[in-house]
Structure 1
Amino acid sequence: MHAHLRRAGRGLADGRQPRHRHGPDCQRRLARHGRPRAGVFRPGPVPGQDGRVRFPVRRARDEVALVSAPAAAAAPPRAWAQLVGYYASLGAVGLASAALGPTLPGLAEQTGVSLGGISLVFVARSVGYLAGSLLVGRLYDRLPGHPIMAAGLGLMAASLGLMPFAPWLWALAGLMAVLGAAEAAVDVGNNTLIVWTYGDAVGPYMNGLHFSFGAGAFLAPLVVAQVLGQGGTIAWAYWALAALTLPPALWLARLPSPGGRAPAAQAAPTAAAGGVSRYGLVALLTACFFFYVGAEMGFGAWVYTYAERMGLADAASAAYLTSAFWGALTAGRLLSIPLAARLRPRTLLAAALSGCLASVGAAWLWPGSPALLWAAALGTGFSMATIFPTLMAFASRRLALTGQITSFFFIGGSLGGMFLPWLIGQWVEPAGPRVVLAVIFSGLALDLAAFLALVAFTPRPAPPSA
């Protein structure tokens, strides 16, 4: 068939009309669709600049589109319904992830422990997420994906609904570990199944998917603030979050799962900058992810307690402050897309880390101003928005990324998200609430130091060859 198309394309390029010799492919097409009616426009093949012949395909009443031969596989008919389920389910993960910070003092009071003791829930949640990430990937390769995601969302709803009934710290930590594993199942499933659904056209849908997580993280403190403002307790806040997690589970359970697709063959990996420097490069990049995720999770989890303990906000205002941080991070993710197309990754990273340090440092050095704290929360969230994806782009320019190397980055980020919030919890009572911003500022400074070491001690990528 390809030889027939090339002959037709050469005829059109020379200005000659193609001869209507109906080969086997044309015979099958005529048998399926019939011969064209008189007076009906049926455009013929059109040669493209890349040498491939394209057949015009009528998509609407007056619209003709060119489809390459062989044409790319289209999305399934119910892809829009699957997309709604994916966006809603990852939004539910954002709700559960951002709800812990505003409810942390209430959970400490419920279990009868100090704020230093309640910080153990961060460790339990991160351990559960790591374990779930390692185990659930094999399930998606062997079983239909939507039932697994629905089960993960149901497990999330059950864990959130049982949080108010945990009177002991160990029971609360166990529920947090289950919640982390369920979040990993939904997170891995979303990022895997959306690729299987849209294939090479997944780019804009993937960006929207991660925006939905930020939207959920933005809404969670608002839900908590509304419940507390109406005279409710954190128990009602967790039950409301559990109720919001159930609709995506029911939606996905009724949809057929997309089939798995083998990944495309990748180019052979090349060395980064020699044997020893390759390991050092991976270590420095992992350190960057460690400190960044730790600072992000530390600020999102502890800014509520900092504002309340410093007397800069009451319970409802502190919840709105947390929501403002996540909202700025979400808006920054949208606005950073055109910036990433215009600026080099190292330039964008340097500006983002500098903005984070300036915002957190100002609030730390001048701690008595509520307005400055609000400005710092907005500035920190907006500056942090682009760091994680730009670090991935920066890494791809310095070495050939493999699955194993990428897993190191995510493990480093998970460990940072576990360690820095736990460290803040150990110091917040003996050293006072100002230690919250001090630890976050130190983590960001170490992140900047690791990034500067990357720029200084690794070679720049070679320009692409013509």
Structure 2
Amino acid sequence: MTQDDIMAATNDCIEKPIPPVDSEVEIPLHKVPHFKYKAIKTAIFCYSIAMVGIAISLLGPTLPQLGRNVNEKNLGWVFTTRGLGYIVSSVITGKIIDHYNEKEKDPKKQLLVSKLILIAGVLCAAGALVIIPFIPYLWLLCIVIIFIGIGGGLLDLGCNVMLFNLWGDRVNTPLQFLHFSWGFGAFLAPLIVYACEAITTSIIGPGPEIGIDPRTQLIVYDRVIHTRVAHIFTALLTSTTIPLVLFGLRSKEVEAAVVDKVELTEVAVAVPEGEQDAATVKVEQESTAEQIKETRRLKIKQILVTGVIGLALFFYVGAEVGFGSLIYSYLTEWQGLTSESHANLLNSAFWLSFSLSRLAGAPISIYLSPKWMLILDLVGCMLSFLVMMIFNTNIVVLWIFSILLGISLATQFPTTMSMPTTSLGMENTGAMTSAMVVLAIAGEMIVPLFLSYLTEHAGPKAMFYSLFGIGACASVLYIILIFGFKKEKKPVAKEEK
């Protein structure tokens, strides 16, 4: 190679600088740094959330026996107190995580806090599950069930926030798996009750007869022992989360996971030793006012984004729970369109399509951006509500679009929760996540009550008109979220001249 060739190659290198590390090209999810550690931790979070789904959903199939234990048929307060416990623990958990993330920089101590939050949630839920079937008073039952809500809030919000901190702007796919795990746990709960009752019946019999169900004309048995077995078994199953948390999360891997971040930070701020003091003083003088202004702008944006997402989840979760809870009554008692068994099948088809779609959302999220996933979900939801509103007495139409609605609703919650991090380039703090979860729970509690009241006073068809209006409100908020906020640009280290 001649001297001219060497000079030409050198000039080419000078004219074509190396592109910055922080490029817009995304590496595959399985090739992100420390993927194995992140995958193991995500699996532990998913298992924990599945246990939450089982613990919370166990109340449904065991509720008739719990009502007989306390001599009370109307147990609506049980769900209200559970929701209050969920809300309180969600707020507290978010503040605890934010406090330790801001004040404590030692990864070992941050990991310890994460473990304590998860273990506390498991102990609250498991302890309450053991006590509940032995309680003879309604007021005491409501108090103990608060701890089911507290445990659920600790585990639910804790796992969500920790997952955001673990994956950053790649959180959408792991978050889809996390929320599928909750649905899978809810699916297992009645199967666990059925299995425990079958095994107990084979050993001690069905229990004493207490009457005949006027609707089915079948003998009703006092299954107090069977219910206790189901609750104790579920408590033991939930407790298996504790050894996974204690031994599955190791501090050495946590330290390794932050090494790259520390090294990159050191490189980005490196200044020649002789000019370090002067450069530092100059940068501080020039940037202080600008940093204050930028911090204030980001804080305002954070509040606005949290408010829009929280309200969208209020309407979305309310519509999901309202439809899933009331469609059976609409088909049987209110309209008399079909038999109870047929209505049960349609209701099960809705929740089955919901669960399968949530599972499918994980691989789909690898190829579709959160924005496009939300847009497709919104189109599916509004189309379903519109068609069911128009053809509200056609059982075939209700079957088809109930399934489409379940598919469209499934991925909205995890995708919406991931939007600040994945699409807006913001940090999803514990306070933000807790605010979103609290508003979602409020929608779960308020919207179904509103739908029931409106249907009772305005007629059965008012349910679908109301659902269409609620879906429209959520859609407006989602449009604001998708198109009204710009993505924050990541800071890139300046080139040295």
**TM superposition score normalised by structure 1:** 0.64
What SS does the corresponding residue of 2:426 show, helix, strand or coil?
Answer: coil
Contact 2:45 2:159 survives alignment (8 Å): yes
Contact 2:129 2:234 survives alignment (8 Å): no
Contact 1:218 1:326 survives alignment (8 Å): no
Instruction: State the Cα distance separating 1:147 from its structure 2 match.
Output: 6.3
Contact 1:271 1:400 survives alignment (8 Å): no
Report whether the alignment pairs 1:88 with 2:26.
no
Give the aligned partner of residue 291 of structure 1. Answer: 315
Mind listing any 5+ residue stretches in structure 2 that lack a counterpart? Answer: 1-17, 22-30, 98-108, 207-220, 269-290, 493-497
Instruction: State the Cα distance separating 1:372 from its structure 2 match.
Output: 4.2
User: Deviations 1:22-72 (Å, cap 9, x if unpaired)?
Assistant: xxxxxxxxxxxxxxxxxxxxxxxxxxx9999xxxxxxxxxxxxxxx9xx96
What SS does the corresponding residue of 1:130 show, helix, strand or coil?
Answer: helix
User: Quick one: which amino acid aligns to residue 159 of structure 1?
Assistant: A
Give the aligned partner of residue 379 of structure 1. Answer: 404
CA distance in 2, matches of 1:313, 1:239: 36
Instruction: State the Cα distance separating 1:135 from its structure 2 match.
Output: 3.1
CA distance in 2, matches of 1:142, 1:437: 47
**Using a 3 Å threshold, how does the CA distance of structure 1 residues 275 and 148 change in structure 2: closer, same or farther?**
closer
Aligned equivalent of 1:443, options 436, 448, 470: 470
Q: Does 212-221 or 288-297 show the bigger shift?
A: 212-221
Contact 2:122 2:155 survives alignment (8 Å): yes
Give the aligned partner of residue 284 of structure 2. Answer: none
The structure in which a higher percent of residues are helix is 2
Q: Does 349-358 or 237-246 show the bigger shift?
A: 237-246
Contact 2:90 2:438 survives alignment (8 Å): no
Aligned equivalent of 1:128, options 85, 93, 113: 85
Contact 2:172 2:370 survives alignment (8 Å): no
User: Quick one: which amino acid aligns to residue 478 of structure 2?
Assistant: F
Give the aligned partner of residue 173 of structure 1. Answer: 142
Instruction: State the Cα distance separating 1:89 from its structure 2 match.
Output: 2.8
User: Deviations 1:83-106 (Å, cap 9, x if unpaired)?
Assistant: 765443321212234455667788
CA distance in 1, matches of 2:131, 2:339: 27
Correspondence 1:38-437 to 2 at 5 A: 86-99=45-58, 118-136=75-93, 138=96, 141=110, 143=112, 146=115, 149-164=118-133, 169-191=138-160, 207-221=176-190, 236=226, 240=230, 243-250=233-240, 252-253=242-243, 255-256=246-247, 257-259=249-251, 280-310=304-334, 311=336, 321-337=346-362, 339-343=364-368, 345-368=370-393, 370-396=395-421, 397-398=423-424, 400-403=426-429, 404-427=431-454, 437=464
CA distance in 2, matches of 1:380, 1:422: 20
Q: Does 198-207 or 211-220 show the bigger shift?
A: 198-207
Mind listing any 5+ residue stretches in structure 1 that lack a counterpart? Answer: 1-48, 53-67
**Using a 3 Å threshold, how does the CA distance of structure 1 residues 132 and 204 change in structure 2: closer, same or farther?**
same
Give the aligned partner of residue 216 of structure 2. Answer: none
Answer 1 or 2: higher relative contact order, Cα 8 Å, separation at least 6.
2
User: Quick one: which amino acid aligns to residue 475 of structure 2?
Assistant: L
Count residues with an aligned counterpart: 398
CA distance in 2, matches of 1:209, 1:423: 30
CA distance in 1, matches of 2:342, 2:232: 23
Instruction: State the Cα distance separating 1:184 from its structure 2 match.
Output: 1.6
Give the aligned partner of residue 28 of structure 1. Answer: none
